[in-house]
Amino acid sequence: MNILVLNCGSSSLKFQVIETDLDLIEKNSERQKAKGIIERIGGQALITLESDRGEKQKLASPLRDHRSAIDYLLRWMVSPEAKLPGIQSLADIHAVGHRVVHGAEKFTRSVVISDEVIRGIEDCIELAPLHNPANLKGIRAAQELLGLGVPQVAVFDTAFHSTMPETSYLYAIPYQLYRRHKVRRYGFHGTSHRYVAYRYRQIVGKKKEEVNIITLHLGNGCSACAIKAGESIDTSMGLTPLEGLVMGTRGGDLDPSIIEFLAHKEGMTLPEIDTMLNKQSGLLGLSGLTNDMRDLLAEEQENQDRRAKLAIDIFCTRVRKYIGAYLAELGGAEAIVFTGGIGENSPAIRKRILNGLTWFGISLDDQKNQATIGKEQIISDAPSKIAVHVIPTDEELLIARDTVRSVKNAPRRW
């Protein structure tokens, strides 16, 4: 089956076309036929399209909304210039898998989209006011353009964490607020944590129940996950993706009193504070320079920039804290897995995060760590009590797989 995977943001759309099926999943031999991104939807959009022959096209076109963007994409996919193998017409697109950010307590696994599911995703909008509406726009546009005969599947960022116990997901605020408004930790990046945990299991040849690990998704957004017997028992993001680790522009954990304090001192409104915490904090806020870890590392090295170094140190210390907390919570773990743009590509950051943990018996093989950029590799040395792996994430592949399994009503293996 040719699956179109869509990840719709408020003004962007990432996509992949993946050929997969139950037997291809079994053989781990799916084929990515195309991928790309459309940015700045609503104005003069920037379009990057790449076929599996590696030809990359960069274009610009006025696209007023998500429907126009998906229409543009579908036209390109079936065009002779794209030359996507096995895709000559829209009938060759067999299903669509959508990344949906918030599934709250309603959706604990991927589901085929029906009117009822759409209503359910709408009900979650107040928990993800920026993300779920964009996801819904993508779903509605794909339904309109491809017709209701093409099944669509929703894959939720929160679903993998639905196994968390109350002791992890409840905040210590009056219980009735959970009852009344479902204020609790949900966690995000679930598809990524689930994918790397699944790959880890394949790499080491273990059953799901035998997997006790910590997964670290370090990208522009960052989160840690404690996985026990193959299931998420805790994660660092909370009601929204703002909690936990230091991220590109999000501050992560902080004393909630800061909000009232700033409202008084700076005369900021609540929406202004929310924007500051989501968009102007984290690596960007600390360094005053950038949210991009590559640039920060360069500033630190080439210009000895003090605040760049400080931002990186705080970033690494926070990850280390979570590793310690999760090791305690799990009662020990056999491995730590790095993924995401920073986790996959930055030996320097991996080393700085784990440096202070040698006393505990976590030690890196420096050569392997240095040589591992964007590929699967064990980077701990032989004496390390806890193995350290780098596993590039592939959320789109997991979305495509869930789409096939949901459409065919096949059991999910992980």
Which residue ranges make up the site for ligand ADP (CB under 6 A)?
Answer: 219-221, 248, 292-294, 297, 340-342, 345-346
CB of 346 to ligand ADP, least distance (A): 4
- Give bridge partners of residue 5 from the DSSP assignment: 16, 97
Residue pair 235/161 in contact (Cβ under 8 Å)? The answer is: yes
* Minimum gap (Å) between residue 29 Cβ and ligand ADP: 25
- Whole-number minimum distance, CB 331 to ligand ADP, in Å? 30
In whole angstroms, how close is the CB of 181 to ligand ADP at the nearest point? 28
How many whole angstroms from its chain centre is CA 368? 26
> Which residues, 6+ apart, have CB-to-CB distance to 378 below 8 Å?
368, 387, 388, 389
Q: Which is nearer to ligand ADP, 109 or 351 (CB)?
A: 351
CA angle 4, 5, 11 (to 5 degrees): 115
Q: Which of 52, 92, 115, 157 is catalytic?
A: 157
* Closest to 335 (Cα-Cα) out of 249, 234, 210: 210
- CA–CA gap between residue 271 and residue 277 (Å, rounded): 10
Closer to ligand ADP at the Cβ: 48 or 220?
220
User: Which residue number places its CB atom closest to ligand ADP?
Assistant: 341
The smaller minimum CB distance to ligand ADP, of residues 275 and 290, is found at: 290
> Of 90 and 297, which CB lies nearer to ligand ADP in the complex structure?
297
Is 157 among the catalytic positions? yes
Q: What is the C-alpha separation between 328 and 309, in angstroms, rounded?
A: 29
Question: Which residue stretches of 238-305 are H helix?
Answer: 257-266, 270-279, 282-287, 293-303
Active-site annotation, residues? 157
